[in-house]
Amino acid sequence: MPVVIINMLEGRSKEMKRDLIKRVTDAVVESLKVKPDSVRVIINEVPKENFAVAGLPIEDYRKGEQGKVSKNKVSARSNQNKK
C-alpha cells in the first residue's frame, strides 16, 4: 500500500487539493502498477509562521529578504578568506 505524504503551506482550496490528490494517485497507479484503492495520500498543511527558507520565515523570504541573506553569506565568507 503506497502512502504519499505531501507537506505544503496552508491556504489552497478544497478543489485544488482534490485535484492534487487525484493526480498523485494516478501517477502512483501508473508508476507502481497498483490499484487506486491501495494508494493513500496525506496532505499536511503547514501554517506560514511555521515554514522557513534560508533561515527566514517564508513571508520575509518572499518579500525579497533572501537577497540580503545571500549577500551576508558572501560577505562572511569573504571576511573569513581574508584572515
- CA-based torsion, 57, 63, 66, 69: positive or negative: negative
- Does the annotation mark 36 as catalytic? no
Separation in Å, CA 26 to CA 23, 38, 56: 5, 11, 35
Q: Which residue has the cell 509562521?
A: 49
Which one of 2, 36, 47, 57 is the catalytic residue? 2
The three three-digit cell numbers of residue 28, written as one number: 502512483
Q: Which residues are catalytic?
A: 2
